Structure 1
C-alpha cells in the first residue's frame, strides 16, 4: 500500500495494511455481541479509524514484508505520547542498522558495509503517511467492502477489501485490529488478483507500557537524519517548476515535493496509493529506459530532449507499469533554466 517514494530515484536513501467465531458456551453472549457490532460497522467506519490508528496506537512487534521475491523482517516499537510519534525499526535479516523516528524527524543509522534505504521500509506499513494524512475520499477511486473476520498475531481483526474502480491503480486488502483499528496485515493485488506485496505482523503486543529505552539508538555507525514531511511553503500544494504533467490518473493530486538533487520532483497520491515523478538533467552515464517492477512498485524511466538538453524522467510508485508509462510520456519540460541548465 505505499507508499510515497522520496529522494532521488538513482540514489534513493531518503525515501505501512487486518474474529474467529467463539465456540465456548460460556462466551456465547459476548461473541454474539461482537458479531452484531461488526455487522453494524461498515467499511467506511473502518477506513475512518485506519489513519488515526497508524500513529496513535502504541505497540511493539515483528513484521514481515514481501515484495516480489524479496522478503524482509523488521522489529518495531511504536509509541504515541503527548501528541508525538516515536518509532524504532531494526532489521532482523540482511544488513544491520536501525531507523529511529521522533515526531517528523527520522534518523537512519548506516552500518559500515551498507545502508538502509527508507524507500524499502514497508510503504504500506508504519511509515506510511498516506493513510494518516489522506485528504481525499478513498471510496471515489476504490470500492470498499467488509470481507469477514480473521485473527492475526493473536488479535481479532476485520478484513477490508478496497477494489480499484479502474485498471490505472491496484486493489488492496487490509486487516485491521478490532479494538484499535491498527493495520496488522495488507495485500496489494493486481487486476487479476495476484498478490504483489504482502505486509503482516508475525508477533504483536499492543501496549502503553513502552519505556524511553526502547527508542534509543544502539547501532554504531554513520547517522543520516531527515524530515519525514516536506518543509512548509507558501504554495497551497507542491508545484512543478519548469515542467508540466499533461496526464495523471483521476484522483492523484500533488501531495509532496521529494528532494531530488539538481532535478525537480513531485509526489502524487489518491489517498491510498502514491507515485513520484522525477525530472532531472541527464547524466553522462548511460541510464536504462523502460519499465521495471518489484512487487507492486513500478519504476519507469524515459529520456527527453528539450532545446538540445537531455533530461531524464523517472516515475516511481505503487501503480501498474502501463500507468507509470503514460505518466512519464506526458511530462513536458518547458523551462530548462528552472533546472540550472541552458541549451547547447
Structure 2
C-alpha cells in the first residue's frame, strides 16, 4: 500500500466509524455505511498470509521477488508525466518521513499525523488522528506495497514498479500541467486521466525534491473534486539507500483463496488482490474479493441477505463511494451481490449483474438505469 493509499484508506476508515446519518432514509444509509466500511477494510487490512514482505539485503532465490533499488532516485527525471509517476512510486517506498496531513471528503475534514518508517529494512506505517477521539492505527513489519497483475502465463504475480506504470498507461494518460507550492515545497501538478469511462480521473501534486505526493485529488466524471488528501507539513525526510526486495507469499492460492462464485466481467485492467475471503458483517458471514487496476479499487461481496445487512437493490452513494446491489435466489436462500468502490455507478452495476454462482439457476432482478441513488 502506497502512502497516498494508506492515508486515504485509514482516514476514510475513521470517517466511516464516526459518520452521523440524517433521519431521511436512515436505514438505507446506515446499511450503506456498513458496506462502505467493510469495503474500506478490505483495502486497508489485507490478510497476513498475503502480506508482501519488504526486506533489505539479499533476495530469497526460492521465492518470486520484486526489486526496488532506491538508488534510482538519483537519476534525472524527464518531462513526461509517467516518469514523474514512476518516481513517486519509488519515493513512497524509499523515504522515511513524518507528515501532518488532512483529508477533505465525504462531508468531513480529518487531520492526522502520518509516519512511514524503514526499520531494519522493513516498512512500518502509523497514523495518529489529531481531531476527535484519540486513535492510532499501525502497520508493522509488512506492507502490501505494489499491486498484483497477470503475467504472460495468465498467473497472478506481484507487479514491479515498471510493470505498474506500463499497465496503468494502458488505461490512464499521465500529463504534467503546472507547477505549484504545497506545504512550502515546490511541486509539479499531474493529471491522471482515464482513457475510458470505467474509472475516475486523479490530480497529483508531486514534490520536486523527493518525488513524494503532497496532494491527491479524486475527480468525478465531470472533473469536479470529490476527495482531497493533502500533506500540510513534512518532517524528518530520510532516504533509504539500499535495495528493497518485495517477496510474494509462498502459496498464492492461500493468499487469494477462490470463492465458489466469480465475476464474469470486470473493467479492463482490474486484477484480483490479496485480501481475506471470509468477512463478517453484523453477524452475517459473507465472502469478499478485492480487485484493483493499480489506482482504483473495487470490493465485491456475495452471501445470504440478512435484514441487518441487506442493501436495497439499485445504486447508492456515500461521499465519493458508490455501491450497486443485486438480489437473487440461490440454493433456497435470498442472496445479495454488492460491488463497492469510488467508481462510476454503471460500472458497478454491470459487475454485479454478471456474477455467476455455482450451479446458477437464478431468479433475480438487476439494478438498472431506473434505480434510485441514495446519498447523504
> TM-score if structure 2 supplies the norm length?
0.65
Match of 1:243 in 2: 261
Partners in 2 of 1:139 and 1:285 — Cα distance? 42
Structure 2 SS opposite 1:263: strand
Query: Contact 1:237 / 1:254 at 8 angstroms: preserved in 2?
Result: no
Partners in 2 of 1:203 and 1:295 — Cα distance? 26
Match of 1:100 in 2: 138
Q: CA deviation at 1:89?
A: 0.8
Cα pair distance change 1:236/1:267, threshold 3 Å: same
Q: CA deviation at 1:128?
A: 7.5
Cα pair distance change 1:234/1:2, threshold 3 Å: closer
Partners in 2 of 1:67 and 1:312 — Cα distance? 28
Question: Which residue of the other structure, out of 266, 272, 278, is the alignment partner of 2:301?
Answer: 278
Cα pair distance change 1:275/1:242, threshold 3 Å: same
Match of 2:200 in 1: 170
Query: Contact 1:153 / 1:202 at 8 angstroms: preserved in 2?
Result: yes
Question: Which residue of the other structure, out of 78, 83, 108, is the alignment partner of 1:70?
Answer: 108
Question: Which residue of the other structure, out of 257, 273, 296, is the alignment partner of 2:320?
Answer: 296
Q: CA deviation at 1:273?
A: 0.9
Residues 216-255 of structure 1 correspond to what in structure 2 (within 5 A)?
A: 233-235=251-253, 238=256, 240-255=258-273
Q: Deviations over 1:139-181 (max 9, x none)?
A: 1101111112111101111111111111110001111111221
Match of 1:119 in 2: none
Match of 1:203 in 2: 233
Query: Contact 1:158 / 1:176 at 8 angstroms: preserved in 2?
Result: yes
Match of 2:337 in 1: 313
Cα pair distance change 1:180/1:237, threshold 3 Å: same
Cα pair distance change 1:274/1:133, threshold 3 Å: farther
Report the more deviating stretch, 172-181 or 129-138.
Answer: 129-138
Cα pair distance change 1:256/1:9, threshold 3 Å: farther
Report the more deviating stretch, 253-262 or 235-244.
Answer: 235-244
- Residue 59 (structure 1) aligned with residue 97 (structure 2): yes
Residues 89-168 of structure 1 correspond to what in structure 2 (within 5 A)?
A: 89-104=127-142, 135-136=163-164, 137-168=167-198
Cα pair distance change 1:265/1:178, threshold 3 Å: same
Cα pair distance change 1:147/1:130, threshold 3 Å: farther
Structure 1 unmatched ranges of 5 or more:
17-36, 106-126, 210-228, 337-344
Structure 2 SS opposite 1:208: strand
Partners in 2 of 1:192 and 1:133 — Cα distance? 32
Partners in 1 of 2:348 and 2:258 — Cα distance? 17
Match of 2:86 in 1: 48
Q: CA deviation at 1:275?
A: 0.6
Cα pair distance change 1:318/1:2, threshold 3 Å: farther
- Residue 9 (structure 1) aligned with residue 39 (structure 2): no
Partners in 2 of 1:316 and 1:267 — Cα distance? 10
Which structure has the highest helix share of the two? 2
Q: CA deviation at 1:258?
A: 3.4
Structure 2 unmatched ranges of 5 or more:
14-33, 44-75, 149-158, 240-246, 361-376
* Count of aligned positions: 275
Q: Deviations over 1:215-255 (max 9, x none)?
A: xxxxxxxxxxxxxx996634398354211211111111112
Query: Contact 2:124 / 2:142 at 8 angstroms: preserved in 1?
Result: no
Partners in 1 of 2:264 and 2:225 — Cα distance? 31
Cα pair distance change 1:9/1:286, threshold 3 Å: closer
Partners in 2 of 1:144 and 1:164 — Cα distance? 9
